[in-house]
């Protein structure tokens, strides 16, 4: 199976940032597969395990910038869960860097693009083509 | 009725349950124990000499670690008409499941052979064992799959809660009769299948999850629940207090966790 | 906490006086700071033409020699290079690994978490050292006005906390002349290109200190001092190193500070 | 029977030419699945096609563009036919435009994920409600005033919220208007008076929004107001109180050129009475008994159908650009200080005590600079040229220089303004100013400011000794915009300005229905653009709120009793307090639930779900193959 990076993107900011990126025609690795969720706070840790067990190399959780969650504290909650989950991964001897959170505003397509490629590069060693 | 009992990697606690008086009379009548290494016969040829499906039933406790244990269980599967996995170790890997090292670790019996009857618990409550044996006699497959969480049976008082700091078990928190989680003590009740009657929380001890995961990925769900209950301002304090995430979230079923399998796969790749 | 002093190449020729003054200051304040044994060039500017790793290696070797503790630096360029290595290598683990492989040939290794680079000004402004300095100041004397001058490398990109030089000068009994050009460029390495620009730059810097009423311009960097002395106007405030100025207030003999009596 | 339908939109060539739709159709084809294709599903023909071809379907998946654009339209069409199972997969943005080498394979995976969840999906329940014909306008500047006027003219009740004691915002301090140089107050103050007279407009000054809840069409807004110490309902603006105040400058007053409401405000930090003294001069002289020292902070809850955000912008804090010396050097001012000096009406404001012989305008102060504002604010060039002309009018002998990066003068008249300035001797030099300093280059210029720059067209260094430096900073969102964004659930862009729902075709809309943007809160705008955008926002609001009824979708979490362990974690974790413990276990309050899913992900026993149990798990498994 080709390497896959799952991106759970909140429909308010991160998914819109991806659209913003799309309008600029910035390219993402083929293995990056976005799934839209209501809020980054709606991403349960079980989904992270499910993604990893089914072969995803990494999972990115994209939410609104800090303090700007549309549901008040969804992204804060997501961040706490990610921290605990990363601690669990580390305790199991797995790399905690296989899951991470990215907090971007809807206009920050270029930043999301950078973050995704950075993550992809760390996971696969492939860099973005110039 | 010819039966066999076998103990793989376990503490032996489940065996003791068989000495309780609470077992069904119909089960004890006309019972012939052909093989039970701890109590009567331990010779493998006794089993080997039996015809295929020559045993009415076999009850297996403990997790599988060695090649011998695996062979013995496969043999029992061949000789017994019906197989019962007894205890958390046999069902989910149990406490020995935490004993994982590079590339290997104990496996639940249920991952080696198929079992008709499941008897959860560490050790199972007598009531659970009796019901399972009755099911065995009635030729039913059992597993208690339709049960809700331990909390449904828990006598402690529930109220909405937020976790400020994790607390160690003991003291006033135990006596108060309030939900452990609401008091900042980790309790696996919400992610654990009921059936035990919530004996531990009832007796003042938080649930460790021995009756098995209510759902797939129960460890992650407990993690989520705790991380959701934490006050954002005190998240770092919480994280610090969480000393042993693996033992906390996966005490009785780490051996079945997909994350552990990922780790094993990585180790295998490393050695390869 | 182990403390080391990094003299830098200039201490051997161009800024021997700065080196003398710093050592005199340390002993007057009874600070136990030994020069770093077997130190090498910080990388200066010349190696910038090579791969960035070469410069980082030079700096990292010095940091590795410290093993664990703090490294106190006086020269602005040395401070910049060492600080750059400290920041880069704590971020770029891959380069750190490569450099450590090279350092291992000498039996050295560098871990960014265990070594801290500090500028002399930062170090002296720490609470204990400052109170030591104040208690050692001899006599009250006139508050001779001094204009502080930081120059580029103490201002950017790793700028020192604002007002350190002013604080030291004030507490040691100098008057502080406000110098709006204290973060400006002295011309740096322009003399080598024979550029006429430097004369204008230095002229204005000295003029700025003069119009603020300063008698001295206090500097920390050997290159700043050299440029200002060579290209600045003959009239106007004299350029001295801050450690020299502090030493004078501690009552140290000018000769111990690398100063000739006649200069003052 | 092909119960399930997938519609592939070609989006012209946007999808059709990048994604191999025939291959998609081939790979997706299944016993129960019909694949349909259309060049433009959003066109009237396309919509018709969608409706026709989805008859008797159990569920429909549309693979097209981002949901913001047409999801609502498609859903409404399908819902009208009683079709509840609908999903949209934006393969244009997520595959066609962003896949590096194989958009088709990516589109295929994403569609498969969508299909996996489709069977479980239900469109959220919808309720019809009658929108309240009332509008809350946040911000009483040019945009807020315009929107309030237009909405009230159309029959809506308007609540206008202003943080300051007086309406008008930054427009009050404009002197002349770009590009025709007409008098700003002649143009703008009639609007203020019209507002003071308007019916159905209630003005709240010194007030801010603290909470907004409810649904589009029926929001509940809680506002908080600071005391003014003068009662709006009694004062008739005679101004007698102003002359009796013993404090200098007076503690009571209306310190703006055109105070609306014409009711003074008491500054408690200056007023003697608040310093424990017994002065009551203003109270005694007031013929209407309007002075009220007992005035306190107040809270009020308003029920409105919609909200217009008109919080505007403000100039970037020029003191942050250290080397320009603003705030440190007395003769360095900003364009807005200059504009204020012009509009204050006094003949010789402080900065012109001695007529300046040479003035420099520093364009892009902080703009297009990654350490300050990485963007161009577009309107500042025009404002600077305009102000320099006015300065030249006042001081014909002054030499005036503009240092610019690029001159952006919009409108046909903008270019004329530039030529006029050139003809009057104002000089334009392309280059960034490196430094503004009180230390001169040569001692004979002592006392003047030194401006160092480079004329990048002539490749020549410039050292100017000048008497006045006017910095022209760019614009940033008004203070508190970020806080308001969180309160309203709106997303600010990278620069902090509010993001419209769609820049080109829906500039007044936001991601939340029932909330619109007016004026410079969504980016730098000059007065004419501000007014135009405010009218657009008002039109949107009026259209929305005058409908006899609107359909509001209300997704909410569902609760499964058999799985619930009653740990009540969900109750605590809900940011909207939409879950309450009840006798039967748990009650979901639909009017409060916003369907964020926070409780779903917190629930340890899987007793809560949104859309469908484990819908995301299905998608995840499908997308991973």
Give per-residue pLDDT as tens, B111-159.
999 999 999 999 999 888 888 888 888 887 765 567 888 998 999 988 8
The reply to whether residue A80 touches residue B221, judged by beta carbons under 8 angstroms, is no
Continuous segment of H or E residues that includes residue B84: strand B80-86
Interface residues on B facing A, Cβ-Cβ cutoff 8 A: 216-217, 220-221, 223-224, 226-228, 230, 232, 235, 238-239, 242, 244-246, 249, 257-263, 266
Residues of B in contact with A45 (CB under 8 A): 220-221, 223-224, 227
Could you check whether the bond before residue D249 is cis, i.e. omega within 30 degrees of 0? yes
Q: Which of B223, B235, B246 sits opposite A92 (nearest CB)?
A: B246
Please return the burial class of C41, using the count of CB atoms within 10 Å of its CB with bins 0-12, 13-18 and 19+: middle
Q: What is the mean pLDDT of residues C113-120?
A: 94
Evaluate whether C24 touches C256 at the Cβ level (below 8 Å).
Answer: yes
Q: Is residue A130 part of a domain?
A: no
Q: Report the length, in residues, of chain A.
A: 130
Closest Cα to residue D62, out of D49, D458, B141, D203? D49
Q: Would you say residue D552 has pLDDT above 70? A: yes
Q: Would you say residue C257 has pLDDT above 80? A: yes
Evaluate whether B174 touches B131 at the Cβ level (below 8 Å).
Answer: no
pLDDT score recorded for residue A2: 87
Q: Would you say residue C77 has pLDDT above 80? A: yes
Continuous segment of H or E residues that includes residue A74: helix A74-91
- Report d(CA B37, CA B33) in Å as an integer: 11
Q: Would you say residue C208 has pLDDT above 90? A: yes
Please return the burial class of D297, using the count of CB atoms within 10 Å of its CB with bins 0-12, 13-18 and 19+: exposed
List phi, psi (to 5°) of B35: -145, 125
- Planar angle of CA B15, B18, B24, nearest 5 degrees: 155
Q: Is residue A65 part of a domain?
A: no
Distance from CA of A95 to the nearest CA of D (A): 21
List phi, psi (to 5°) of D143: -70, -50
Continuous segment of H or E residues that includes residue A116: helix A109-124
Q: What is the mean pLDDT of residues D153-169?
A: 95
Closest Cα to residue D69, out of D30, D104, D43? D43
Residues B206-227, buried b or exposed e (16+ Cβ, 10 A)?
A: bbbbbbbbbbebbbbbbbbbbb
- Report d(CA D165, CA D241) in Å as an integer: 17
CA-based nearest residue in chain D for residue A105: D493
Helices and strands per DSSP (H, E), number in chain D: 18, 30
Q: With H, G, I as helix, E, B as strand and everything else as coil, classify residue C170.
A: helix
Helices and strands per DSSP (H, E), number in chain B: 12, 5
Residues of D in contact with C207 (CB under 8 A): 439, 443
Q: Which two tokens stand for residue B19?
A: 């000495």
Q: Report the length, in residues, of chain B.
A: 272
The reply to whether residue C180 touches residue D441, judged by beta carbons under 8 angstroms, is no
DSSP B230: B
Which of B57-61, C33-37, D68-72, D323-327 bottoms out in mean pLDDT, i.e. has the lowest?
D68-72
pLDDT score recorded for residue D346: 58
- Domain of residue A23 covers 5-57+70-124
- Considering only residues 97 to 126 of chain A, which have any Cβ-Cβ distance to chain D shorter than 8 Å? 105-108, 111
List phi, psi (to 5°) of D598: -60, -40
The reply to whether residue A44 touches residue D600, judged by beta carbons under 8 angstroms, is yes
Q: Is residue A38 part of a domain?
A: yes
Closest Cα to residue D25, out of A49, D33, D294, C240? D33
pLDDT score recorded for residue A121: 93
Q: Which of B220, B235, B263 sits opposite A49 (nearest CB)?
A: B220
pLDDT score recorded for residue D478: 95
Residues of A in contact with D102 (CB under 8 A): 30
Percent of chain C surpassing pLDDT 70: 98
CA–centroid distance for B45 within its chain: 30
Q: What is the mean pLDDT of residues B249-265?
A: 91
- Report d(CA C33, CA C21) in Å as an integer: 14
Please return the burial class of D613, using the count of CB atoms within 10 Å of its CB with bins 0-12, 13-18 and 19+: middle
- Contacting partners of chain C (3+ CB pairs under 8 A): D
Evaluate whether C256 touches C20 at the Cβ level (below 8 Å).
Answer: yes
- D616 touches A at CB < 8 Å: yes
| Class of the domain covering B2-137 | alpha beta
The reply to whether residue D572 touches residue B229, judged by beta carbons under 8 angstroms, is yes
Q: Is residue A64 part of a domain?
A: no
Split into its structural domains, chain A has a count of: 1
Q: Which of A50, A73, A81 sits opposite B224 (nearest CB)?
A: A81
pLDDT score recorded for residue C262: 56
Q: What is the mean pLDDT of residues B191-199?
A: 92
Closest Cα to residue D56, out of D81, D75, D28? D81
In the numeric block, the tokens 């119960």 are attached to: D3
- Report d(CA C254, CA C252) in Å as an integer: 6
Q: With H, G, I as helix, E, B as strand and everything else as coil, classify residue A96.
A: helix
Q: Is residue A77 part of a domain?
A: yes
- Contacting partners of chain B (3+ CB pairs under 8 A): A, D
Percent of chain D surpassing pLDDT 70: 99
Q: With H, G, I as helix, E, B as strand and everything else as coil, classify residue A59.
A: strand
DSSP D258: S
Q: Is residue A49 part of a domain?
A: yes
Going by pLDDT thresholds of 50, 70 and 90, the confidence category of residue D488 is confident
The reply to whether residue A6 touches residue D623, judged by beta carbons under 8 angstroms, is yes
Q: Which two tokens stand for residue D362?
A: 């520093």
Q: Which of A45, A84, A89 sits opposite B239 (nearest CB)?
A: A84
**Which of A8, A13, A16 is best to mutate for the D interface (most D CBs within 10 A)?**
A16
- Report d(CA A116, CA A105) in Å as an integer: 15
Q: Order of strands, edge to edge, in the sheet holding D298-304?
A: D207-215, D218-225, D298-304
Evaluate whether D539 touches D578 at the Cβ level (below 8 Å).
Answer: no
The residues spanned by each domain of chain B are 2-137, 150-255
The reply to whether residue A52 touches residue B249, judged by beta carbons under 8 angstroms, is no
Q: Which of B242, B259, B266 sits opposite A49 (nearest CB)?
A: B259
Going by pLDDT thresholds of 50, 70 and 90, the confidence category of residue D21 is very high
Beta bridge partners of D208: D224
Please return the burial class of D570, using the count of CB atoms within 10 Å of its CB with bins 0-12, 13-18 and 19+: buried
Closest Cα to residue B82, out of B56, B105, B108? B56
Strands D358-365 and D126-129: unpaired
């Amino acid at each position: 199976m080709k390497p896959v990076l799952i991106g759970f993107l909140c429909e308010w900011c991160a998914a819109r940032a991806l659209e913003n990126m799309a309008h600029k025609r910035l390219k993402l690795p083929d293995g990056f597969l976005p799934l839209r969720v209501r809020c980054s706070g709606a991403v349960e840790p079980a989904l992270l395990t499910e993604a990893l067990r089914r072969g995803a190399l990494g999972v990115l959780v994209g939410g609104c910038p800090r303090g700007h969650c549309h549901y008040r504290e969804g992204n804060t909650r997501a961040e706490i869960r990610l921290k605990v989950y990363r601690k669990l991964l580390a305790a199991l001897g797995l790399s905690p860097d296989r899951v991470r959170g990215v907090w971007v505003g809807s206009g920050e397509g270029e930043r999301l693009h950078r973050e995704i490629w950075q993550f992809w590069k760390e996971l696969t060693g492939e860099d973005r083509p110039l | 009725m010819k039966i066999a009992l076998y103990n793989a990697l376990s503490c032996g606690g489940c065996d003791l349950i068989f000495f309780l008086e609470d077992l069904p009379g119909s089960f004890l009548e006309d019972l012939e124990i052909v093989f039970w290494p701890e109590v009567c016969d331990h010779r493998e040829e006794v089993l080997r000499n039996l015809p295929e499906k020559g045993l009415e039933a076999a009850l297996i406790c403990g997790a599988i670690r060695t090649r011998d244990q695996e062979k013995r269980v496969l043999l029992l599967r061949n000789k017994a008409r019906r197989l019962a996995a007894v205890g958390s170790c046999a069902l989910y890997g149990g406490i020995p499941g935490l004993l994982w090292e590079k590339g290997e670790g104990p496996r639940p019996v249920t991952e080696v052979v198929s079992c008709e009857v499941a008897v959860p618990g560490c050790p199972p409550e007598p009531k659970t064992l009796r019901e399972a044996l009755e099911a065995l006699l009635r030729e039913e497959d059992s597993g208690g799959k339709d049960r809700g969480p331990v909390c449904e049976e828990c006598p402690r008082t529930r109220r909405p809660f937020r976790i400020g700091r994790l607390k160690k078990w003991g003291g006033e928190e135990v006596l108060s009769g309030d939900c452990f989680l609401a008091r900042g003590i980790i309790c696996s009740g919400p992610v654990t299948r009921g059936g035990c009657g919530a004996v531990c929380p009832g007796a003042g001890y938080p649930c460790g999850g021995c009756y098995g995961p209510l759902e797939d990925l129960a460890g992650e769900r407990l993690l989520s629940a705790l991380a959701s209950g934490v006050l954002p301002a005190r998240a770092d304090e919480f994280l610090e207090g969480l000393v042993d995430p693996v033992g906390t979230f996966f005490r009785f079923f780490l051996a079945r966790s997909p994350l552990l399998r990922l780790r094993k796969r990585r180790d295998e790749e490393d050695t390869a | 906490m182990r403390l080391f002093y990094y003299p830098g190449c200039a201490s051997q020729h161009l800024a021997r006086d700065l080196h003398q003054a710093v050592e005199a200051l340390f002993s007057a304040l009874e600070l136990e700071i030994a020069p770093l044994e077997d130190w090498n060039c910080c990388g200066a500017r010349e190696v910038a033409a090579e791969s960035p790793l070469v410069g980082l290696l030079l700096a990292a070797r010095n940091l590795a020699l410290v093993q664990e503790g703090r490294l106190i630096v006086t020269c602005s360029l040395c401070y910049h290079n060492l600080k750059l290595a400290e920041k880069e290598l704590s971020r770029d683990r891959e380069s750190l690994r490569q450099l450590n492989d090279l350092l291992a040939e000498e039996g050295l290794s560098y871990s960014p978490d265990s070594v801290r680079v500090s500028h002399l000004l930062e170090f002296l402004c720490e609470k204990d050292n400052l109170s030591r300095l104040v208690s050692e100041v001899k006599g009250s004397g006139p508050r001779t006005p001094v204009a502080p001058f930081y120059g580029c490398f103490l201002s950017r990109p790793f700028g020192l906390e604002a007002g350190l030089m002013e604080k030291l000068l004030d507490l040691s009994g100098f008057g502080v002349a406000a110098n709006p050009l204290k973060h400006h460029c002295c011309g740096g390495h322009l003399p080598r290109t024979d550029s006429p620009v430097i004369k204008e730059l230095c002229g204005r810097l000295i003029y700025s200190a003069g119009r603020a009423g300063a008698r001295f311009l206090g500097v920390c960097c050997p290159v700043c001092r050299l440029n200002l002395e060579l290209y600045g106007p003959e009239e106007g405030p004299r350029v001295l190193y801050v450690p020299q100025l502090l030493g004078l207030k501690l009552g140290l003999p000018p000769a111990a500070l690398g100063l000739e009596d006649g200069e003052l | 029977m092909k119960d399930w339908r997938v519609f592939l939109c070609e989006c012209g060539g946007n999808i059709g030419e990048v994604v191999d739709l025939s291959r998609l159709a081939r790979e997706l084809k299944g016993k129960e699945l019909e694949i349909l294709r259309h060049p433009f599903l959003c066109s009237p023909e396309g919509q018709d096609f969608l409706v026709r071809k989805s008859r008797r379907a159990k569920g429909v998946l549309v693979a097209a563009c981002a949901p913001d654009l047409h999801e609502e339209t498609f859903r409404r069409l399908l819902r009208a036919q009683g079709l509840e199972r609908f999903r949209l997969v934006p393969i244009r943005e997520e595959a066609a435009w962003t896949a590096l080498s194989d958009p088709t394979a990516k589109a295929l995976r994403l569609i498969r994920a969508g299909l996996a969840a489709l069977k479980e999906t239900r469109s959220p329940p919808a309720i019809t409600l009658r929108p309240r014909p009332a509008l809350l306008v946040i911000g009483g500047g040019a945009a807020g005033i315009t929107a309030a006027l237009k909405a009230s003219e159309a029959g809506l009740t308007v609540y206008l919220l202003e943080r300051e004691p007086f309406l008008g915002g930054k427009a009050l301090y404009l002197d002349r208007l770009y590009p025709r140089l007409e008098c700003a107050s002649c143009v703008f103050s009639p609007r203020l008076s019209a507002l003071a007279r308007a019916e159905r407009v209630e003005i709240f000054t010194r007030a801010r929004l603290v909470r907004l809840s409810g649904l589009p069409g029926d929001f509940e807004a809680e506002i908080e107001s600071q005391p003014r110490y003068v009662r709006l309902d009694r004062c008739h603006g005679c101004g007698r109180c102003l002359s009796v105040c013993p404090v200098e400058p007076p503690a009571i007053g209306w310190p703006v050129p055109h105070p609306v409401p014409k009711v003074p405000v008491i500054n408690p930090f200056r007023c003697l009475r608040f310093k424990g003294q017994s002065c009551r001069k203003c109270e005694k002289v007031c013929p209407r008994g309007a002075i009220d020292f007992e005035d306190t902070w107040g809270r009020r809850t308003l029920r409105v159908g919609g909200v217009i955000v008109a919080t505007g912008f403000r100039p970037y804090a020029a003191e942050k650009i250290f080397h320009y010396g603003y705030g440190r050097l007395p003769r360095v001012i900003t364009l807005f200080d200059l504009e204020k000096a012009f509009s204050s009406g006094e003949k010789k404001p402080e900065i012109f005590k001695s007529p300046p012989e040479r003035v420099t305008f520093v364009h892009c102060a902080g703009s297009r600079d990654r350490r300050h504002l990485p963007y161009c604010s577009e309107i500042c060039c025009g404002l600077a040229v305009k102000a320099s002309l006015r300065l030249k009018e006042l001081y014909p002998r002054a030499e005036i220089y503009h240092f610019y990066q690029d001159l952006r003068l919009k409108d046909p008249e903008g270019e004329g303004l530039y030529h006029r300035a050139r003809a009057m001797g104002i000089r334009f030099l392309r280059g960034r100013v490196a430094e503004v300093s009180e230390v001169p280059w040569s001692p004979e210029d002592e006392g003047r400011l030194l401006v160092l720059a480079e004329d990048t067209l002539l490749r020549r260094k410039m050292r100017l000794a000048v008497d006045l430096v006017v910095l022209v900073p760019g614009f940033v969102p008004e203070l508190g915009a970020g806080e308001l964004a969180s309160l309203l659930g709106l997303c600010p862009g990278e620069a902090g300005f509010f993001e419209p729902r769609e820049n080109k075709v829906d500039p007044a809309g936001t991601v939340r229905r029932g909330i619109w943007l007016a004026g410079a809160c969504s980016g730098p705008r000059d007065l004419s653009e501000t007014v135009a955008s405010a009218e657009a926002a008002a039109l949107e609001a009026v259209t929305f709120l005058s409908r006899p009824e609107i359909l509001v979708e209300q997704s909410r979490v569902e609760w499964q009793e058999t799985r619930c362990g009653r740990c009540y974690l969900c109750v605590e974790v809900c940011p909207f307090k939409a879950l309450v413990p009840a006798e039967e276990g748990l009650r979901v309050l639909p009017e409060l639930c916003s369907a964020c899913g926070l409780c779903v992900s917190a629930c340890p026993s899987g007793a809560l779900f949104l859309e469908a149990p484990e819908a995301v798990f299905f998608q995840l498994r499908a997308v991973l193959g």
